[in-house]
Chain A
Amino acid sequence: MSTTTVTAPRARLASYSRTFLDRHSSMMPTFAALLIFIALLIGAEMHFGNFLTPLNMSALLLNYAYLLILAVGMTFVIITGGIDLSVGSVMAFTGISCAKLLGEGYSAAVVIPAILLGGAAIGLLIGVLVQYFDVQPFIASLAGLFLARGLAFVVSLSSIRVENESVLWLQTTRWRFGEWYITPTGILALSVAAIGAFVLAFTRFGRTVYAVGGNEQSARLMGLNVARTKVLVYVISGVCGGLAGLVLTAYSGAGYPRNGIGTELDVIAAVVIGGTLLTGGTGYVLGSVIGVLVFATINTIIAYEGAEQAWTRIIIGLMLLMFIVVQRVIVVRSERRR
C-alpha cells in the first residue's frame, strides 16, 4: 500500500518528463547549448575570478554583434535545409563599399540602404540559382562567396578609414546602466535577433520556412509558396550580411576587403551549436543567439588565458563535433520511435 503511494507520483513525474522530452526533443540541443554557456561562464569565473564583470559581458555583445546578425540570417537558410557560404564575403564587400561611398562624400542615409540592397542582390542571385536552376545551395552560395570577395577587392585593395560621424556614432556611443553598457550596434544586433525570432515563430512566412525544411514536397502539396520562401531566405541572409558589414565597419572604424575570411564557418558552427539541424526543419533564432554567445565566450576565455589562438579553432571544432553527435543521436531515436 505504502509502496504504491510513493511510486505513483514518481511514475507520473517520469511520464511527464518523458512527454516533455518527446514534445520538445527539437529544443534539447538548444537547452544543452544554454547549459554549456552557463557552465562556461561559471567555470571561467571560478578560474579567473574576475571574468563575470559587467564590462566583460557588455564587451561580449559589442565584439560579436556582427556574428550575431549573420547567425540570424544563417538560421533562416539552414532551417529550409540550405546553406549560405557567402556571408563572410558579403560582409566584407558591403563593409568596404560602405567605407568607400562614405569616403566619396555620400551621406549615411544613402549609403546604408545602398549596401543593404547590395547584400540583398547577392542573396537574390543565390536564391534564384538554388530555386529556379536547381543548383545546390552549397555551390550557389560558393559562387556568391567568390563574387562578393572579388567585388570587395574591386572596390578597394586596401583598407579605407571611415570618418563619417553617423556611422562612427553606432560604435562610439555607450548607453550606460551602472557598470553595464550597450552600443547602438549591440541594440541593432539584438533587434535583428528579436525580429528574426518573431518572424520565424509567429508569422506565416516563418511557419513556411519550417515546412519547407521539414519536407519540401509536402509543403508544396499543401499549397505553400515554396519558391518564394526559398528565394527569400537567401535574400534575408544577404541583408543580414549587409548589416553585419555596416556593424563591422563601424566597429573597426574602417572597411577592409580581407574581413570575414572564414567567418561563414564560425557562423555555421554557432548556428549548429545553438541547436539548428543542418538537415533543416528544426532550429531557433534564440538557439543561434546562444550559439554565438558560446562561441564568443570561448574566444574571450582563450584571449584571457593568453593561450594560443589556435586553441579556439580546435575547441570550436570539438564542440561542433559533440553537438552533431548529440543531434545525430536525437534524430536516430526519433526515427526509431516512428
Chain B
Amino acid sequence: MTRLMKHRLFWPVFSLLALIVINTIARPQFIKITMRDGEFYGALIDILRNCAPLMLVALGMTLVIATRGIDLSVGAVMAVSGAVTLTIIDGSSSPGSTSTVLVAILAGIGVSLVLGLWNGFLVAVLDIQPIIATLVLMLAGRGVALLITDGFITTVNSEPLNFVATGYLFALPFALFIWLAAAAAIAIVERRTALGVLTEAVGINPEASRLAGVRSRGIILGAYVASGTLAGIAGIIYSSNIRAADANAAGDLIELYAILAVVLGGTSLMGGKFTIAGTVIGVLIIQTLDSTILFLGVSSAQSPVFFAIVVVIVVLIQSPRVHQWGRALTGGFRTRPGTEVRNDAEVTA
C-alpha cells in the first residue's frame, strides 16, 4: 500500500477516482453509459469527448514544460488554425466533400506547425525567455486569426468537418480516438526511444546536457513544433464542435487550463521529469471538475473560483515547505530517522 502511495501517479489517479465517486453519489446517472443506435452515450463519454482540445494542447504543453519552457500561444494557435481551415472550406465550391475538408485541415495543421516552429526559433535559437517569446504570438496570433476571418465568425456546415468533433467510430466518439492516438504517439516516441531521456536532460540542466553532447537546440525546437501542431489540431476540433471559427473565443484561457492539467498530473514546471499519463489524468480531472461544477448549478462564469482553489491546493501539496511540515508531523511517530530522507530520483519508465 505504501509503495502504491509513493507512485507519482497515485494522487492524480486518487483525485480523479474521488471526483467520479462523489459525482456518482450526488447523481447516480453520472456513471451510467447507455447504448443507442450502436453508439455509447453518457456523462463519462461526454467527458472523454469534450476533453479532446484541452488534451491535445496539454500533451504539447507537457513536452514544452519538460524542456523548462512554457507555451502561452496555444490558444492563439487554435484560433489561427480554426480560422484557416474554416475559411478554406467556406471559400471552396464544395464544402461538403471529404477531400476539401482534408485539404483544409492539413492547411490548418501546417500553419500551426509553422507557428510552433516560430516559437521554437525564438526560444531555442534566439535564446529568449519562453514566457515572453510565446507571449508575442499569443498577442499577435488572435489578431492574425481575426484578419483571416475578416473580424467575423465564419460558420460552415460541412458533414466531414462536423464528424471530427461529433462523429462516432466503433461506437465511441471520434474525438476520443484523436487524442488517444496523439497520446500514444507521444508516449511511444518519447519513451521507446532516447528522446524522452534527452528531453528531461535538457529540462534539468540545459548547459550540462549541451556539454554532454545533447543537441538541446533541436529538442527544444521540436517540443514547440509539437505543441503548435497539437494546438492546431485542437483548434480544428474546437471549430468543428461549434461549426464556426471564432477568433476571439477559440482557446480562450486554454493555455492556463493546460498548464494546470500538466501540473496536476505531476510534471514540475521547473522542467525535467515529465509524465504523459499524468497529463492525461490531469486533463480528465479538469474536465470532470468542470462537469461537476456545472452540475452543482454554479454559473460557468463563477467556476474559476473552484479552479483557483484547486490550483492553490495542488501547488501547496507540491510545495517543499508543506512536505517539511508533513515530515515534522509524521516524524513524531517514526523512530527511524533514516526513512525521512528519501531519494526523489525515481526511475521514469
Asked whether B242 is an interface residue with its Cβ less than 8 Å from the other chain, the reply is no
Q: Which residues of B contact A136 (CB under 8 A)?
A: 269-270
- Provided the pairs A138-B269, A153-B299 are in contact, do residues A278 and B131 lie with their beta carbons within 8 angstroms? yes
Residues 130-179 (chain A) with a chain B CB within 8 angstroms: 132-136, 138-140, 142-147, 149-151, 153-154, 157
Enumerate chain A interface residues (CB-CB to B < 8 A).
83, 129, 132-136, 138-140, 142-147, 149-151, 153-154, 157, 257, 265, 268-269, 272, 278-279, 308-314, 316-318, 320-321, 324-325, 328, 332
Q: A146-B304, A308-B146 are in contact. Are A265 and B315 (CB under 8 A)?
A: no
On whether A157 and B299 interact (CB within 8 A), knowing A133-B321, A139-B315, the answer reads yes
**Residue contacts A-B, CB under 8 angstroms, 27 given:** A129-B315, A133-B315, A133-B321, A134-B319, A135-B319, A138-B259, A138-B269, A139-B315, A142-B259, A142-B260, A145-B304, A146-B304, A147-B305, A147-B308, A278-B129, A308-B146, A309-B151, A313-B139, A313-B146, A314-B144, A318-B140, A320-B132, A324-B129, A324-B132, A325-B126, A328-B126, A328-B127
Contact B131–A133 (Cβ < 8 Å): no
Most buried by B among A278, A279, A332: A278
Indicate whether B9 reaches chain A with its CB closer than 8 angstroms. no
Produce 1/0 per residue, B66-108, CB < 8 A to A.
0000100000000000000000000000000000000000000
CB distance from B140 to the nearest CB of A (A): 3
> In whole Å, how far is B142's beta carbon from the nearest beta carbon of chain A?
6
Additional pairs, 14, CB under 8 Å, beyond known A157-B301, A314-B144? A132-B321, A135-B319, A136-B269, A136-B270, A142-B259, A142-B260, A150-B307, A157-B299, A278-B129, A310-B247, A317-B139, A317-B140, A317-B143, A320-B139
Task: State whether A278 and B132 are in contact (beta carbons under 8 Å apart), knowing that A310-B151, A317-B137 are contacts in the complex.
Answer: yes
Chain B residues 130 to 162 lying within 8 A of chain A, measured CB to CB, are 131-133, 135-144, 146-147, 151
Cβ of B304 and Cβ of A150 under 8 Å apart? yes
> Considering the chains assembled together, what is the distance between the CA atoms of A312 and B270 in angstroms?
33
Q: A316 CA to B142 CA in the complex, in Å? A: 12
Interface size class of B (residues with CB under 8 A): 35 or more
Name the residue in A136, A142, A145, A308 with the highest tally of chain B Cβ atoms < 10 Å from its Cβ. A142
Is there a chain A Cβ closer than 8 Å to B114's Cβ? no
Is the contact region of chain B dominated by helix, strand, or loop, or is it mixed? helix
Interface on chain A toward B: helix, strand, loop, or mixed SS? helix
The answer to whether B126 touches A146, judged by C-beta atoms less than 8 angstroms apart, is no
**With a CB–CB cut-off of 8 A, which chain A residues contact B260?**
142
> Which residues of chain B from 319 to 349 have any CB-CB distance to chain A below 8 Å in the complex?
319-322
Shortest CB-to-CB span from A119 to chain B, Å, is 16
Contacts of A278 in B (CB 8 A): 129, 131-132
Whether B302 and A153, one on each chain, are in contact in the complex, defined by CB atoms closer than 8 angstroms, is yes
Q: Is the CB of A150 within 8 A of B305?
A: yes
Given A133-B321, A151-B305, A321-B136: A146 in contact with B311 (beta carbons within 8 A) = yes
Nearest opposing residue in chain B for A312, CB measure: B143
> How far, in angstroms, from A321 to B129 measured CA to CA in the complex?
12
Residues of A within 8 A of B15 (CB): none
Which of B128, B306, B320 is A328 in contact with, Cβ under 8 Å? Answer: B128
Closest Cβ of chain B to A129, distance in Å, is 7
Nearest 10 pairs between A and B by C-beta? A317-B140, A150-B305, A313-B143, A150-B304, A310-B146, A147-B308, A146-B308, A314-B143, A317-B139, A146-B304
Q: How far is the CA of A145 from the CA of B139 in the complex (A)?
A: 18
Decide if B312 touches A129 in the complex (CB within 8 Å). Answer: yes
Task: Collect the chain B residues with CB atoms within 8 Å of residue A269's CB.
Answer: 135, 139
Q: Which B residues from 278 to 313 make CB contacts under 8 A with A?
A: 299, 301-309, 311-312
* CA–CA, A150 and B311, complex, Å: 13
Q: Is B226 an interface residue (CB 8 A)?
A: no
Residues of A within 8 A of B315 (CB): 129, 133, 135, 139-140, 143
In the complex, chain B residues whose CB is within 8 Å of the CB of A316: 139-140
Q: Given the complex, which residues of B lie within 8 Å of A83, measured CB to CB?
A: 131
State A317–B126 Cα separation when bound (angstroms).
17
Asked whether any CB of chain A lies closer than 8 Å to the CB of B22, the reply is no
List the B side residues contacting A265 at CB < 8 Å: 135, 138-139
| Nearest chain B CB to A262 CB, angstrom units | 9
Closest chain A residue to B263, Cβ basis: A139
A279 to B137, CA, bound (A): 19
